[in-house]
Amino acid sequence: MKKHSVAIAIVTIGLFFSCATNPLTGKKSLNFVSNSELFPSSFQQYGTFLKENKVISGTADAKRVENVGIKIRLAAEKYLTSIGQSEYLKDYRWEYKLIDSKEINAWCMPGGKIVVYSGILPVTKDDAGLATVMGHEVSHALANHGAQRMSASQLQQIGAVGVSLATGNQSSEKQQMWQQYYGVGSQVGVMLPFSRSHESEADKIGLTLMAIAGYNPDQAIVFWQRMAAQSAGQAQPEFLSTHPSDATRIANLKALVPEAKATAAKFGVVFK
């Protein structure tokens, strides 16, 4: 019993000291993984991905991805400098690559390694649409969402061990039953809402970054309306998804647009 108490105390202390305030969100976030640990692995995985997939270069679309990416990066630098966090991005190594794929997707790995699939370009349509996507994906990296999800997954595993210890004197059937209850409960009740909150955070930060970069944040709503049309009738219930529903996302963005425009105005960017 004492051993269990010591273990719980160690985990509790670790949780306390692993919660740091993120300058982009203003919130304390769970993070067991430092950038010095995460970034080298991220950069290596990104390099491997580029070798194993067809990178489009030298085209107008590839140049557009790079140009929009640079503007989003500069917007992030401006914003962080304005709040006294100019050193926050010192270990980032930015890259912006267009990949030949029909998949309607894009992502940004920790440390600023960005991929845009060519399949999403017909949906983005223009630079503002592309800035919506890239601003959102960059925001995941800036908010350390990857590290937070890794940390949450570790806690989920620790919880499973706790369930195993607590039910160790019961039959194997009951132990399996409790593990299944814990698995479903922790996934639907904790991990999925955690992921959806990250998506909403990335939407908010991304909207601000695209506005500072000079792209009208109203166009983010138009882009997500096009995305909603792509998945009409295919979306699963929100509580079982890693992402907010299209309707929730669009409603949230509409409410956030005035704030994004107000922030951009502080940097001399004004939209009609």
pLDDT at 195: 56
pLDDT per residue as tens, the chain (272 positions)? 333 443 343 344 344 445 567 777 776 666 656 777 778 888 999 999 999 999 999 999 999 999 999 999 999 999 999 999 989 898 999 999 999 999 888 888 888 999 999 999 999 999 999 999 999 989 888 887 665 666 555 555 655 555 566 666 666 766 566 455 444 444 434 444 445 567 888 899 999 999 999 999 999 999 999 988 887 655 544 333 455 678 888 999 999 999 999 999 999 999 87
The Cα–Cα gap between 199 and 224 comes to: 13
pLDDT at 17: 41
The Cα–Cα gap between 265 and 118 comes to: 32
Three-state secondary structure string covering 80-130: HHHCCCHHHHCCCCCEEEEECCCCCCEEEECCCEEEEEHHHHHHHCCHHHH
Residues 232 and 183: beta-carbon distance below 8 Å:
no
**Residue 176: Cβ within 10 Å count:** 12
- Which H or E run includes 28? strand 28-30
Q: Does 137 qualify as catalytic in the annotation?
A: yes
pLDDT at 185: 47
For 219-237, write each residue's pLDDT tens digit: 999 999 998 888 765 554 4
In terms of DSSP H, where are the helices of 105-217?
121-124, 127-142, 145-166, 172-186, 192-212
Residues 88 and 80: beta-carbon distance below 8 Å:
yes
Average pLDDT, rounded, for the chain: 78
Q: What is the dihedral of CA 257, 92, 105, 96, to 10 degrees?
A: 100
Name the burial class of residue 150, with classes exposed (0-12), middle (13-18) and buried (19+) by CB atoms within 10 angstroms of its CB.
middle
pTM for the full predicted model: 0.75
Q: Which residues pair with 61 in a beta bridge?
A: none
The Cα–Cα gap between 261 and 209 comes to: 10
- Pick the catalytic residue from 137, 173, 201, 238: 137
Residues 98 and 56: beta-carbon distance below 8 Å:
yes
pLDDT at 116: 94
Query: Scanning the structure block, which residue is given the tokens 């890693």?
Result: 242
Percentage of residues of the chain with pLDDT beyond 90: 44
